[in-house]
């Protein structure tokens, strides 16, 4: 095979593996989101969490390995015609094809069915991925690290582009834009069939035919360690880099800058692997270890600098202000250093292909990697819901958001440190001028597409004139992280409801978002982009609390977050100010949770913070009823807008007797209207409450 056909052939492998990586991350994201959302409705874990067992699917290959051994024995010669059904290339065709079918169905089904569809897709992908290492073809023995490392970079760039173009929701899985996914499915299906038919792929079940005897035989501990490193990197990308809005919410950094910088660094790394792989030869083990170490420190510092020391008693509060520019230095440093993730992946994969691997050790390595991923998924979720699954020891993970990321990075840093991985000299994938130009063009398109998309879609809103304005409509909307009462993602229906009511100010209790439990999408950014409103997220996702985000038609200033005592879920209250019609209003978006003591501490914190301020608006989901101690304390100073409008307690046929969503305002305003929209018309599990006041 000449250089040009070989180069083209490798390029096709990169395309296939890029698409398969994209589908794996999409299916894994939807699987964990579906489990989380449905269990969220019950605020407990149940049998649906067993969907995570998909990560252990390679165990299913034990039976296949036995059949390979049996069919290879001379006495079973008459059955050897069935060997073709046990070869790695046949398994990759069949199980890869099932992945494509699952990816096709995944956006079309309900959340409950998605657990099954996405779970099967993830399971089948891991078996497909497993077979790349069990009796690998010669091409992967020589350049598998380069192929899969480049494919991982392209998949990550595609995932970022897809999310950026639709305000953090993957556009390739959204409405009519699913045609993007269908095209990718078609390309991947064609390549799977093409590679299956090619003679260069091993047709034999004999390991010696594809495992040259001159290769070193790896010990089990080495294989397991390397595969844990591979799984750690895949987990890390799933937690963070597949959707940069994740660490944007951690740091409240500039979203467009973050998108531009991270995609640029990924593109530069892909350029090196494609066109200038000889540059990798300059990376000595000492440089790699140092690079990994600095990345680890910068990443953890990015989290720790935004960590909050929460109040430990009912009488204390903690006020947190937006981070100053110098607090974003670890974020920028982390983004500049992020290529090490993909270089580590390339080297770990290539190291695996450079030796003889026994089936049992690959299997144990995959199971260990899957277990590592499962543990990390539970830990990061427990840091967010530490007060709700105490029977599983979740309390131990309170305010330890940094812990899973330390374990992830150590998961690939330690194998790099101990394996002393040599850097193999790779020839460039794109050797011809035409292929270089095409590769550079694609990389530039991916970077500029994401950056310009973020720049255009997330454009800062234009402040409207408030002169002569004498009314405000305030909306308390518990969106349950953007899902409806059946657990299905419901961003668009909730957005339409907001647009119909056209409020000036919206408070969003239960808007914690941009995390794996919500599919790494950001409902508040989605609403803000579509509405053109100013926004303040309040408590960042690092703090492990309910989101209490704020959207406003008018510019926000003096923003901060008040943390009060809690014993079940951190209580972060968003505070900001606006100016309308010559008046300054102070806004509090509230969502206390936990014991009566925690709710009382929250009430005291808000009343003390608002003391002496005119034009206070305190609204949200308060989780207490009328005539409770907290209600009576609040209404001793502020007016309940609903009771002002409906003193009889009956709202045009709606008998609202168990309210927990309120809008309280300072005395002196006229309440023009106040209404509830009950579920399911509210498009969430809570009624929507809104009030219009005038002065």
229-281 confidence digits (pLDDT tens): 999 999 999 999 999 999 999 999 999 999 999 999 999 999 999 999 999 98
Nearest alpha carbon to residue 605 among 592, 615, 614? 592
pLDDT at 210 over 60: no
Q: Are 139 and 241 within one domain?
A: yes
Q: Are 474 and 450 within one domain?
A: no
Domain that holds residue 208: 3-456
Q: Which of 396, 427, 456 is the last residue of a domain?
A: 456
Q: Once rounded to an integer, what is the mean pLDDT over residues 18-35?
A: 97
SS3 564: strand
Are 555 and 484 within 8 A, CB to CB? no
Q: What is the pLDDT of residue 418?
A: 86
Q: What is the pLDDT of residue 77?
A: 52
Q: What is the pLDDT of residue 209?
A: 44
- CA separation, residue 620 to residues 381, 592, 617, 680 (Å): 24, 9, 10, 19
Q: Which residues contact 690 (CB under 8 A, 6 or more apart)?
A: 473, 474, 475, 476, 501, 503, 663, 674, 675
Q: Are 305 and 332 within one domain?
A: yes
Q: Are 437 and 497 within one domain?
A: no
State the CB neighbour count (10 A cutoff) for residue 73.
Answer: 10
Give the distance from CA 553 to its chain's centroid: 28
Q: Once rounded to an integer, what is the mean pLDDT over residues 45-56?
A: 82
What gap in Å lies between CA 13 and CA 152, rounded to an integer? 12
Q: What is the pLDDT of residue 486?
A: 83
| Average pLDDT of the chain, as a whole number | 91
Nearest alpha carbon to residue 447 among 238, 227, 269, 627? 269
SS3 508: strand
pLDDT tens, position by position, 454-469: 999 988 899 999 888 9
Q: Are 424 and 545 within one domain?
A: no
Q: What pTM, to 2 d.p., does this model score?
A: 0.94
pLDDT tens, position by position, 64-83: 776 666 555 555 455 555 56
| Number of domains observed in the structure of the chain | 2
- Paired strand residues for 473: 692
Q: Are 307 and 195 within one domain?
A: yes
Q: Which of 399, 421, 456 is the last residue of a domain?
A: 456
Q: Are 397 and 500 within one domain?
A: no
């Amino acid at each position: 095979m000449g250089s040009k056909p070989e180069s083209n052939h490798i390029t096709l492998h990169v395309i296939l593996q890029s698409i398969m990586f994209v589908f794996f991350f999409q299916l894994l994201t939807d699987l964990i989101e579906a489990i989380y959302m449905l269990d969220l409705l019950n605020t407990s874990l149940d049998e649906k969490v067993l969907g995570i067992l998909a990560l252990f699917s390679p165990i299913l290959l034990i039976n296949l390995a036995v059949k390979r051994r049996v069919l290879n024995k001379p006495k079973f010669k008459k059955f050897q015609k069935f060997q073709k059904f046990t070869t790695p290339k046949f398994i990759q065709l069949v199980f890869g094809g099932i992945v494509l079918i699952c990816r096709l169905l995944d956006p079309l089904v309900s959340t409950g069915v998605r657990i099954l569809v996405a779970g099967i897709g993830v399971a089948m992908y891991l078996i497909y991925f497993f077979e790349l290492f069990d009796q690998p073809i010669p091409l992967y023995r020589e350049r598998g690290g380069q192929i899969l490392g480049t494919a991982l970079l392209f998949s990550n760039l595609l995932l970022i582009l897809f999310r950026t173009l639709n305000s953090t929701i993957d556009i390739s899985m959204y409405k009519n834009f699913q045609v993007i996914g269908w095209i990718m499915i078609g390309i991947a299906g064609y390549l799977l069939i093409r590679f299956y038919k090619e003679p260069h792929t091993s047709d034999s079940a004999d390991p010696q035919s594809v495992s040259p005897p001159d290769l070193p035989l790896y010990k089990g501990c080495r294989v397991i360690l390397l595969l844990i490193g591979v799984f750690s990197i895949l987990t890390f990308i799933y937690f963070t880099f597949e959707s940069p809005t994740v660490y944007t919410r951690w740091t409240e950094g500039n979203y467009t800058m973050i998108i531009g910088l991270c995609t640029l660094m990924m593109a530069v790394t892909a350029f090196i692997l494609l066109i200038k792989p000889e540059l990798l030869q300059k990376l000595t083990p000492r440089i790699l270890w140092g690079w990994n170490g600095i990345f680890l420190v910068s990443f953890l510092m990015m989290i720790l600098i935004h960590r909050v020391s929460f109040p430990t008693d009912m009488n204390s509060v903690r006020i947190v202000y937006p981070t100053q520019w110098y607090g974003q230095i670890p974020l920028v440093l982390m983004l500049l250093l992020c290529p090490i993730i993909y270089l580590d992946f390339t080297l770990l994969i290539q190291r695996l292909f450079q030796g003889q691997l026994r089936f049992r050790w690959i299997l144990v390595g995959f199971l260990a990697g899957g277990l590592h991923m499962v543990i990390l998924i539970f830990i990061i979720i427990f840091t967010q819901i530490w007060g709700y699954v105490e029977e599983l020891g979740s309390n131990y993970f309170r305010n330890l958001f940094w812990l899973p990321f330390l374990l992830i990075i150590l998961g690939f840093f330690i194998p790099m440190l101990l394996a002393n991985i040599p850097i193999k000299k790779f020839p460039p994938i794109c050797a011809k001028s035409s292929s270089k130009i095409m590769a550079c063009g694609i990389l530039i398109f991916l970077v500029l597409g994401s950056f310009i998309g973020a720049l255009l879609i997330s454009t800062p809103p234009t402040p409207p004139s408030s002169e002569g304005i004498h009314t405000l409509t305030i909306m308390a909307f518990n969106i349950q992280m953007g899902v409806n009462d059946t657990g299905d993602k419901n961003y668009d229906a909730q957005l339409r409801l907001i647009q119909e009511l056209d409020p000036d100010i919206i408070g969003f209790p239960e808007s914690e978002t941009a995390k794996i439990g919500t599919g790494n999408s950001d409902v508040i950014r989605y609403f803000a982009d579509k509405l053109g409103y100013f926004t303040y997220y309040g408590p960042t996702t690092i703090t492990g609390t309910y989101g209490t985000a704020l959207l406003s038609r008018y510019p926000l200033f003096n923003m901060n977050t008040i943390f009060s005592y809690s014993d079940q879920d951190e209580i972060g209250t968003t505070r900001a100010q606006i100016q309308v019609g010559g008046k300054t209003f102070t806004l509090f978006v509230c969502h206390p949770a936990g014991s009566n003591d925690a709710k009382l501490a929250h009430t005291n914190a808000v009343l003390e913070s608002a003391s002496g301020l005119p034009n206070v608006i305190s609204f949200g989901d308060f989780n207490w009823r009328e005539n409770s101690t907290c209600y009576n304390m609040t209404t001793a100073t502020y007016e309940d807008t609903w009771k002002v409008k409906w003193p009889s307690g009956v709202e045009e046929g709606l008998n609202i007797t168990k309210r927990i969503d309120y809008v309280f305002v300072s005395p002196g305003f006229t309440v023009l209207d106040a209404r509830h929209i009950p579920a399911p018309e509210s498009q969430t599990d809570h009624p929507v409450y809104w009030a219009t006041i005038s002065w």
